Structures are given as structure tokens and as C-alpha cells.
Structure 1
Amino acid sequence: MKRLQIGFLASGNGSSACAIMDAMAAGDLAADPRLMVSNMKTAGALEAARARGVPALCIPTQKDPQAADARIVSEMEAHAVDLIVMSGYLRRLGPKTLARYAGRIINIHPGPLPRFGGEGMYGRRVHEAVLAAGVPESGVVIHVVDEEYDHGPQLATRAVPVLPGDSAEDLEARVKAAEPPFFVETLRRIAEGALQLPQPASSQP
């Protein structure tokens, strides 16, 4: 079976991306890290990738989103990426990236979807909303990325309990601890063919 060729998008430390790259290096995931891209030049994910011998570059998006969109596509193509993994990437993807990699961009979200997703729902805001809702458990969702925030088809979910007396910080720490190994496990299932990525609508018969 063909190995996955993975490109990463991260805005911060990219903890899930680091766990994924380490799993590849250990031979625990049939995939190769091709490129790390961040919109922030100070992102820890860039240095983490370089320390592992993975090409890394900053593509700022704020001043010229259209140019950034085109460059992300060209760089991913130049590095032979066939699957993009978002690891805490906090910018909306542009139409060129979404079209070129339709059905081949996946993201992890730190709360149940769709209830605790959407524009502006990231980081601690998600955990605060979960606690305010009084639900007995939160969760981690890995989903395909489309043009809407947290909207694409869900690939895998894992429940994370909400414990009595939890603060948003407590719940955030528990969810963050669950994310990296769950992302590695899900990618392993994709690489092994046990989990299929959905076909983009344009390629379906």
C-alpha cells in the first residue's frame, strides 16, 4: 500500500503534528512528513519540524490571503503532499487549497461537533462552552475540512469525560492529552486502509 505523504499546517506548537512525525520516525505510521507550513513565523511547529529534518516555511496569510492560498498549494505540490493535516492552524483555508486537496485535508477539533464548533470556536472557548452546557462528556473529533468551519464529514471521534469540579483549564488539559495519540491512531487506520477518506463530490459518479 502506498505510504501517505503528509503536509502539515500549524499556527502554534503543533503538538499533534509532532506526535505524528515522531510516529513516522519510529516506524509506527506508514507515512512520510513532506512539509510543515505555518502562518506565524514564530510558531514552535516550524522549529519542531526542522529539528526532525522536515522542510518548514512560513506563509503569512493576513496581508494577501489569495497569494497565500496559491503559495500553499504550490508548496504542497512541490513537496509531493497528498494529504494535509491541520494541527492547530487558525486560518480559514482558501479556495485553491480546498479545491486542489478536496477530501484530503483533515483537522482535529477539541469538542463534540457540530454543537461546539463553528467560527470562533477554538481553544479554551470550546471547553468553556462544553462546561456551560452541562454535558457529561466532551470529545475529540477528526474531520475532513471544507469551506465551512468544523463542518466537513467526521472520520473518527473519541469521548473525553467531564469530571465534577472541572475548570476550563482542567478539561482543556485532558482533551489536549487525548488529541495527539488519537490523531496518530486515526492516520494509521487511513494508511492501512481501515478508514476511507470520503470522495469529493466532484469525483463521485
Structure 2
Amino acid sequence: MQKIAVCVSGGGTNLQTIIDAVSDGTIRNTEIAVVISNKENAYALERASKAGIPARCISPKSYESRDSFADAMLDTLEEYNVDLVVLAGYLVIVPARMIEKYHNRIINIHPSLIPAHCGMGYYGLKVHESVLAMGNKVTGATVHFVDEKADHGPILLQKAVEVQEGDTPEILQRRVMEQAEWKILPKAIDLIGAGKVTVKDGIAHISE
């Protein structure tokens, strides 16, 4: 049974998708061991509590240094025997020591087709504003393993979404969530839990 930690910063729509997918068997062989947010008023923490999942607020602002913050994160992950860390709308740069310890065991969902519209400063509606400003006809979402660079690391899954005439950033954001994010994030967690994912030479491979 793979134990996952889900890290969130806001409302937790992707978290809810994961909770529901574990509950209905879409994600197999997986338990959500803990939900961690950097914001104590994040609705995602309430979602976790309602589902009976341990919820913690660990904010970088509460610690004197990045090292102390990293210690708190690592201690919590060890406390709950976490195998996989899932960043689901987590707007914090993951400490380097955490990335090192959980090498190829941290995944992130990003609301574009990486390497387009990603990196520092590209989050939330800013991603969709950029897509529309460029006149892209297709966008989507990406699940990737996390490394030391923002929105970088081996790509695990991607799904394309059509950009439609008259889209606003808000409308496009919702379509990308519904048609891509909420489908590929549970699938990625399930594939990893089934032992079907390997990373070689910086490229993620999925076995049948």
C-alpha cells in the first residue's frame, strides 16, 4: 500500500479529486496519509478533515530559515511513512533536501503542456492568461516529477485541451481542470502505486 502526502495551498479541488478517486477505486493500492498546506486557512485542510485525513499547516513563514522549514516537512513525511509526495496546487518552492531525499518520489500537476507556459511566476490564472495572450489553440496539463527547477523534471503524463474562441482565463482554467488535471493526476498516482513507472536518463517510462 503506497502512502501519499498531498501538498496544497488553496481550495483543494485536485485534492478532492484524489480523495474521491481513492474512495471509488480509480486510484488503487493507495492511502492518503496526510495533507499539508502552507496556509492555515486553506479550504483544502477542511476537505481533508471532512474525509478523516490528518491535516497539517506547515508554513515557511513560521520558521526562521529554509533549513528549519525543510526539517519540519521531512519530519512530517517520515512521521506518516510517506512513499510519494503529490504537489496539488502547492505554491511553495520545495526545499532542496526534500527533493534529494524523495528523488523521483515527488510529482506536481501544472496547468499547461510543459515546457510551454511554465517556470517561476507561472501559476494559477497567470498560466491561462499567458496561453490566451499567445493565441495558443491548444493547452492542457502536465504531471511531472519534481527536481530543483520550477516546473521541470521528467514528464509523466500530459493531456491536451482545446482553447476556444471567447475563452477567459477563468473559463479556460476550469476546462483544463475538468478535462485534464482531474484525469491525469489520479492516473499518475495509480500508475506509480502499481509500480508501472520508472525514470531513466531523465525520462519517465510507463510499462504495460
Normalised by the size of structure 2, how large is the TM-score? 0.90
Q: Contact 1:8–1:87 (CA<8 Å) still a contact in 2?
A: yes
Q: Distance in 1 between matches of 2:57 and 2:198?
A: 28
Aligned ranges for residues 1-205 of structure 1 at < 5 Å? Answer: 3-30=1-28, 31-64=30-63, 65-178=66-179, 179-194=181-196, 196-198=197-199
Amino acid paired to 2:124: G
Cα displacement string for residues 125-161 of structure 1 (whole angstroms, at most 9, x for unaligned residues): 1111111111210010000111110011110000010
Q: Contact 1:102–1:200 (CA<8 Å) still a contact in 2?
A: no
Q: Distance in 1 between matches of 2:183 and 2:86?
A: 14
Q: CA deviation at 1:189?
A: 2.4
Number of matched pairs: 198
SS, match of residue 61 in structure 2: coil
Q: Distance in 2 between matches of 1:156 and 1:94?
A: 24
Distance 1:61 1:180, change over 3 A: same
Distance 1:191 1:23, change over 3 A: same
Q: Distance in 1 between matches of 2:109 and 2:128?
A: 14
Q: Give the 4+ runs in structure 1 shifted more than 6 A.
A: none
SS, match of residue 172 in structure 2: helix
Gaps of 5+ in 2: 203-208
Normalised by the size of structure 1, how large is the TM-score? 0.91
Gaps of 5+ in 1: none
Q: Distance in 2 between matches of 1:78 and 1:200?
A: 31
Q: CA deviation at 1:42?
A: 0.4
Which stretch of the first structure deviates more once superposed, 78-87 or 173-182? 173-182
Q: CA deviation at 1:63?
A: 4.6
Q: CA deviation at 1:200?
A: 8.9
Q: Distance in 1 between matches of 2:4 and 2:198?
A: 14
